[in-house]
């Protein structure tokens, strides 16, 4: 293929989605693929769901999911990585389980505030969900890998390493 150009440009960003420099690694955290938007969706529950939406959109090769602002999903046709706290970005081929049921727990996600209960030494996020089901008014929970379980009556998602959050009906364990 020939790549002759008759115009001058200061940008070195590839202008094709088949570039061999396109990152093939899976999701990158705290990176926004700035610009190149070809679609937008709000209230998307996870980066995996955003990836699945990208697969549905013709021309979508990358995406950025804003965990901190009500699950905003930006569909992209190019990648232009810049640091942005709380963003999750990847190429469309990062996640391949769109047609199969996924777990509803949000990994590395905290739901700060709205606490109505606190338990220690809870063995898993599924066990934390069971505790939430027992507590009147509990609609969400956050479980940390240190065993702390926070029962909640509201959701305010924020990226937080080693946190697992979901709605009360996420697990079928109990």
Render pLDDT for 44-54 as a digit per residue (tens, 0 to 9): 878 888 998 89
In whole angstroms, what is the distance from residue 167 CA to residue 145 CA?
18
Lowest mean pLDDT among 31-35, 93-97, 101-105: 101-105
Task: Out of 50-54, 68-72, 122-126, give the one with best mean pLDDT.
Answer: 50-54
Is the whole-model pTM more than 0.85? Answer: no
In whole angstroms, what is the distance from residue 14 CA to residue 26 CA?
20
In whole angstroms, what is the distance from residue 150 CA to residue 120 CA?
9
Q: Tell me which residue of 125, 137, 51, 132 sits closest to 91, measured CA to CA.
A: 51
pLDDT over 70 (residue 70): no
In whole angstroms, what is the distance from residue 61 CA to residue 83 CA?
19
């Amino acid at each position: 293929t020939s790549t002759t150009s008759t115009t001058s440009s200061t940008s070195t960003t590839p202008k094709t989605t088949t570039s061999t420099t396109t990152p093939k690694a899976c999701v990158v955290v705290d990176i926004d693929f700035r610009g190149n938007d070809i679609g937008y969706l709000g209230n998307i529950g996870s980066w995996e769901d955003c990836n699945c939406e990208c697969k549905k959109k013709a021309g979508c090769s990358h995406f950025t999911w804003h965990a901190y602002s009500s699950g905003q999903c930006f569909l992209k046709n190019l990648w232009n990585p810049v640091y942005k706290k709380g963003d999750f970005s990847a190429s469309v081929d990062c996640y391949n389980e769109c047609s199969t049921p996924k777990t509803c727990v949000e990994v590395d996600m905290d739901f700060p505030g709205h606490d109505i209960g606190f338990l220690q030494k809870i063995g898993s996020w599924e066990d934390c969900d069971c505790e939430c089901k027992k507590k009147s008014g509990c609609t969400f929970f956050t479980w940390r890998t240190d065993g702390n379980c926070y029962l909640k009556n509201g959701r305010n998602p924020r990226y937080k390493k080693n946190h697992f959050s979901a709605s009360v009906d996420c697990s079928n364990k109990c």
